[in-house]
Structure 1
Amino acid sequence: MRISFHGATKQVTGSAHLVEINNRRILLDCGLFESDRFNPESPNRQFDFDPASLDAVVVSHSHNDHIGRLPVLIRHGFKGPIYTTPATADILNIMLRDSARIQREDARNAQLRNPDSEPLSPLFELSDVEWVIERLVRLPYEQPAELLPGITLTYHDAGHILGSAMVQFDFKEGDQQRRFLFTGDLGRRDMGMLHNPTVVKDIDVLVSESTYGAKELDIYDTLLKQLHAIVLRAIRLQSKIIIPAFSLGRTQKMIHSFLELFHEHRVKPVPIYVDSPLATRLTEVHRDHPSCYTPESIKLLESDGSLFNAPELHFCPTWDDSRRLNYLNGPLIIIASSGMCEAGRIRHHLRHAVEDPDNAIVIVSYQAEKTLGRKIAEGAERIQIMDRWHDLNCAVYVLDGFSGHADRNDFAWWYEQTGGNIQSAFLVHGEPESMEALSPLLQPYVQNPVVIPEKGQSFDV
């Protein structure tokens, strides 16, 4: 067995790992890098391997850093099947179409700003997305299937987002039966909505993500208490709570947490407005997959026979719906994208809220350096929103425990449950400091030294 790492090496984007078993070539994920998509030299536009030589692609989940280059892969000659869980397939359809639309709009706007410049070429078009959808093979959790002759694929619930999965291959090399496992993005334990990550045993080769390998995040009960206090403040001051949140995963988790406060902890209900067309479409997909939720979550989320249909919950499909929120009195909650405040409707709400000290911004997503969200989280005195500067007078709360990624304690729990005796292990999808911190935590369960690979490195295991 040979593994080559072509992305998410000492970074958290561009997930792509090539596994070769008995002369069969399988790509795990094909995600976007954090790179200018229009730059001809961007790693998003080229591959270090021949896509036409692949026998299959296996997708762990539907975040763009894991699926965002699938249409590019097909443009470069890949013609095989793409395996996903059913929920991931439904979400992937929406995410890739939205990505194609945004790229086309960005290219057109750039041409309008500089009419004499060369036209920009998007990474892919909607027609390329159609080819991806045609190749999807849906495989539910815990249903082993023959991926290729002699190689069995099993998906396990990773507990990260709806449909997220760990990828297990069982196969023979010579007379030896072996098991390979890729964690994808491992979720947190006991977060209330999704199932805990499945424990997998008898692993020979492990590829593990490491995003929060150096951090210990607040447990869910603590997060709920913090959220409770923020809601009580908004009720007392008759003010607004503004939450920048990614449309996939984080928005639905925040809805769940507020409903839990209202219905399980008897906090006075406050209207929740979800102001993101993409989040609205993705929430509709969340309604279609009740098996992904814990029984307690289904009971909490279900109203009138439908999930995510509580009377406190309101969706804002149009710009007029969004603008009306400016004229509503608090208390109310607005959840809008983008999660880092760099685009989307959230900036519109921030402009109307940040200078009022009674309002609150709640940061629940990772904020990259130099983004508006990072400046807010770090407590800048003044911030620029689009073309205007504003005093940041409102309260700011950072609740990063709502992350969908396992923290150091979650990793320790999961590694221990595997039973150890792993022959070889690799750490991907993390910054170097996270990998260096996680490596000694994993090492007691691995026979050979844990490896932190470089991009392009290959290993025979």
Structure 2
Amino acid sequence: MSTVDKQLEDVKATIDDEVPRHISVSDVTYEGPELVIYTRDPKEFAADGDLVRRLASKLRKRITVRPDPDVLTPPTRAEQAIRDLIPEEAGVTDLDFYEDTGEVVIQAQKPGVVIGRHGATLRDVTREVGWTPEVVRTPPIESSTVDNVRNFLKQEREDRRDILERVGRQIHRDPMSDDEYVRITTLGCCREVGRAAFILSTPDTRILIDCGDKPGAEGETPYLRIPEAFGAGANGIDAVVLTHAHLDHSALVPLLYEYGYDGPIYCTEPTRDLMGLLTLDYLDVAAKEGRSPPYGSEMVREAIKHTIPLEYGDVTDIAPDIKLTLHNAGHILGSSICHFHVGDGLYNVAFSGDIHYDDTRLFDGAVNDFPRVETLVLESTYGGKNDYQTDQDDSERKLKQIVQNAYDRDGKVLIPAFAVGRSQELMLVLEEAMREGDIPEMPIYLDGMIWEATAIHTTYPEYLRDSLRDRIFDADDNPFLADQFHHIEGGDDERADVADGDSCIVLSTSGMVTGGPIMSWLEHLGPDPDSTLTFVGYQASGTLGRRIQRGRDEIPINGDGNGRSDTVSLDMNVETVDGFSGHADRQGLENFVRTMNPRPEKILCVHGDESATQDLSSSLYHDMNLRTFAPQNLETFRFR
């Protein structure tokens, strides 16, 4: 008998001792980080609202209770009973029954109403029909990405269960070494922006944190082939943890499955969906530009199938000696600061990913209150000594003035923007400005993936600020459904018509002018001196966006994939509006560290160009008396 099987026998014995005699426990197994209890008496389990909580506290495990299939109410009868139990205002749109696990997935416009106070309605459902309910939100704006992910996972349910059982056994295996150490190896994004990737290792475990590309630098990928990473084989990695979905952190995650990796990815649910959206577009853009994609779309599906979503604040076992907790990073939808608790109190490490410390229209600011943190790996995108961004109110005033000036000239405003995060922030600013009469009403065209990314935001309003979430719940007040917004669906012909038309605002991907529909817009609007190109986000070194900011006035268009291209003269005005970035500026980064509870002993300053990481490292050392480092790629730090 394996050690995991013996452990499960012991767990079952403990459960049998704790559970009342009239409640049967037929099986106990691991699925990913969760302990799954099968019972022939699901209604009695549900009747004791504290029983699962007591078991979870006793066993120190996340617990799911599932009924044996032969005690379930038939789906046709169960559906009617469930609809009778759930208040009509919940807006139930669909129910899916899965007899293999005894789960019923309830899709509703208002999941909170389905759940009920402290989960009371869900317990009523189980008491009435035996099925274990799971609740998902019906998107207020239809999202093909969310639909595709949910349908795919439904089709792959049996495979996914096998994956989860295998991962569960891996997590709960016995430690193999008596040694104790914690190491971090840098595989990318050190003294540079992009290709984020790190290995967190102990004698028993190796965790890969992020795996992204480098904007504007084709072929510069993380150093995955070194011995600390995939040099000894792809399955030497126990788990992947993804801080957020931007491509400089996620683009090459599906490549891991091409290499033979077959393990889990941990991230929030919106990060999973956005990763699918952005990586599929990444492949599409590469193909259109004549570049060879690094992996196929089937690897994106593998990544989604292997993803285990976590919610903020949930402490989760991901290895025998590592617990993971995700916290809001304030950067984009679902972005996380990843806190790792290593060993039995041995060491604690937090990876910031990308953070925004102050509140924005979309998100609350980044969390910096932790039980323990000895080492912080901190982004430094705006860590330079002069990297102070404009106050948000001033930034909004400047943007509105740019729009007004272009309108007065009968021109247009073209804004390169990331599909996820900045676009939605700008949509809120522009919608309010037009609603309150601060700028004239005019069409706002959304190109690339912006509309689809916006739909995903409305699917997960619990990750947004409370005031915005409440507006999204009200169909008549949802700001993203304002009449001004128009989705570009007709390709280049529609873009040409818009360019020849009246004053308008265009939000288009890609945000760093590295390809995508922004190139078509520059071809149409670049020669127009009455129009304005407005940068609102970070432009990485080596990108066309950075070169335009520095004065380049000829733009390569229609590259043929062989290094040849035409050029367009850039006669439109060029403006940069600071303050809309999803990254904390120098002051925000310093404040994040200064107010951390507890304050870390060591900080690794990463994800910034060389001067930014060194400036921030030096400042934190001198001002806060911390041990700080500005590592290079391929360095390893041992902490215990």
Q: Under TM normalisation by the shorter chain, which class is it?
A: 0.7 to 0.9
Whichever residue aligns with residue 57 of structure 1, its letter is: V
Q: 1:181 aligns with which of 334, 347, 350?
A: 350
- The structure-2 alpha-carbon separation of the partners of 1:456 and 1:334, relative to structure 1 and needing over 3 Å to count, comes to same
Distance of 1:61 and 1:138 partners within structure 2: 12
- Scaled by the length of structure 1, the TM-score of the pair is 0.88
Q: Supply the distance in 1 between the matched residues of 2:331 and 2:383 (Cα, whole angstroms).
A: 15
Q: Secondary structure at the match of 2:261?
A: coil
CA distance in 1, matches of 2:602, 2:343: 17
CA distance in 2, matches of 1:455, 1:393: 40
Match among 338, 342, 346 for residue 167 of structure 1: 338
Query: What residue in structure 1 maps to residue 129 of structure 2?
Result: none
Q: Does 1:440 align with 2:440?
A: no
- Secondary structure of 2:302's partner? helix
Aligned AA for 2:255? Answer: V
User: Percent of aligned pairs with the same residue?
Assistant: 29
Distance 2:203 2:221 in 1: 29
Aligned length: 442
- Does residue 496 of structure 2 align to residue 326 of structure 1? no
Structure 1 residue identity aligned to 2:636: S
Is residue 330–residue 364 contact of structure 2 (8 Å, CA) maintained in 1? yes
CA shift for structure 1 position 357: 2.9
Cα contact 2:245–2:271 (8 A) shared by 1? yes
* Alignment-derived partner of residue 196 in structure 2: 15
Once residues 613 and 224 of structure 2 are traced to their aligned partners in structure 1, the CA distance between those partners, rounded to angstroms, is: 26
Kindly indicate whether residue 64 of structure 2 is the aligned counterpart of residue 64 of structure 1: no
User: How far apart are 1:128 and its partner, in Å?
Assistant: 1.4
**Bigger relative contact order, structure 1 or 2 (CA pairs below 8 A, ≥6 apart):** 1
Counterpart of 1:402 in 2: which secondary structure? Answer: coil
- Match of residue 207 from structure 1: 377
How far did 1:373 drift? 2.8
- Of 236, 247, 250, the match for 1:53: 236
> Letter of the aligned partner of 1:185 in structure 2?
D
Residues 19, 28 of structure 1: 8 Å contact kept: yes
| Equivalent AA in structure 2 for residue 213 of structure 1 | G
1:15/1:444 CA distance change after superposition, 3 Å:
same
CA distance in 2 between partners of 1:191 and 1:170 (Å): 29
Alignment pair present for 1:416 and 2:416:
no
TM-score normalised per structure 2: 0.64
Counterparts of 2:250 and 2:552 in 1: how far apart (Å)?
34
CA deviations on 1:78-107 (whole Å, 9 max, x unpaired) are 22110010110110111122223333444x
> Does residue 78 of structure 1 match 2:261?
yes
Aligned 1:135-174 pairs, distance under 5 A: 135-173=306-344
- 1:389 deviates by 4.9
User: Counterparts of 1:131 and 1:395 in 2: how far apart (Å)?
Assistant: 44
Q: Which runs of 5+ in 2 are unaligned?
A: 1-181, 559-564
- Structure 1 pair 426/311, CA: closer, same or farther in 2 (3 Å)? same
What is residue 305 of structure 2 aligned with on the other side?
134
Q: How does 1:296-315 map to 2 (within 5 A)?
A: 296-298=467-469, 303-304=475-476, 306=478, 308-315=480-487
Query: How far apart are the structure 1 equivalents of 2:359 and 2:373?
Result: 24
1:5-404 superposed matches below 5 A = 5-21=186-202, 23-34=204-215, 43=221, 46-48=224-226, 49-50=229-230, 51-106=234-289, 109=290, 122-173=293-344, 176-201=345-370, 202-214=372-384, 215-263=387-435, 266-276=438-448, 278-298=449-469, 303-304=475-476, 306=478, 308-319=480-491, 320-330=493-503, 332-369=504-541, 371-380=543-552, 382-386=554-558, 389-404=567-582
Shift of 1:186: 1.1
The separation in 1 between residues aligned to 2:450 and 2:376, in whole angstroms, is 33
CA drift of 1:444 comes to 6.0
**Separation in 1, partners of 2:437, 2:598:** 40
Moved more, 253-262 or 370-379: 370-379
CA contact (8 A) 1:263 1:300 kept: no
After TM superposition, the structure 1 stretch with the greater mean CA deviation from structure 2, 379-388 or 280-289, is: 379-388
2-side partners of 1:152 and 1:305: how far apart?
41
CA distance in 2, matches of 1:353, 1:145: 50
Letter in 2 for 1:87: P
Q: For residues 363-406 of structure 1, give each alpha carbon's deviation from its aligned partner in whole angstroms, at most 9, with x where no partner exists.
A: 11233456443343234455554455555443221113211111
Change (3 A) 1:198 1:444: farther
Distance 1:393 1:171, change over 3 A: closer
Conservation of the 8 A alpha-carbon contact between 2:267 and 2:308? yes
Equivalent residue of 2:349, what SS?
A: strand
Root mean square deviation, CA, Å: 2.5
Q: Give CA deviations for 1:49-70 in whole Å, capped at 9, x if unaligned.
A: 2231111111100011111121
CA–CA distance in structure 2, aligned partners of residues 66 and 191 of structure 1: 22
1: distance between equivalents of 2:538 and 2:336? 21
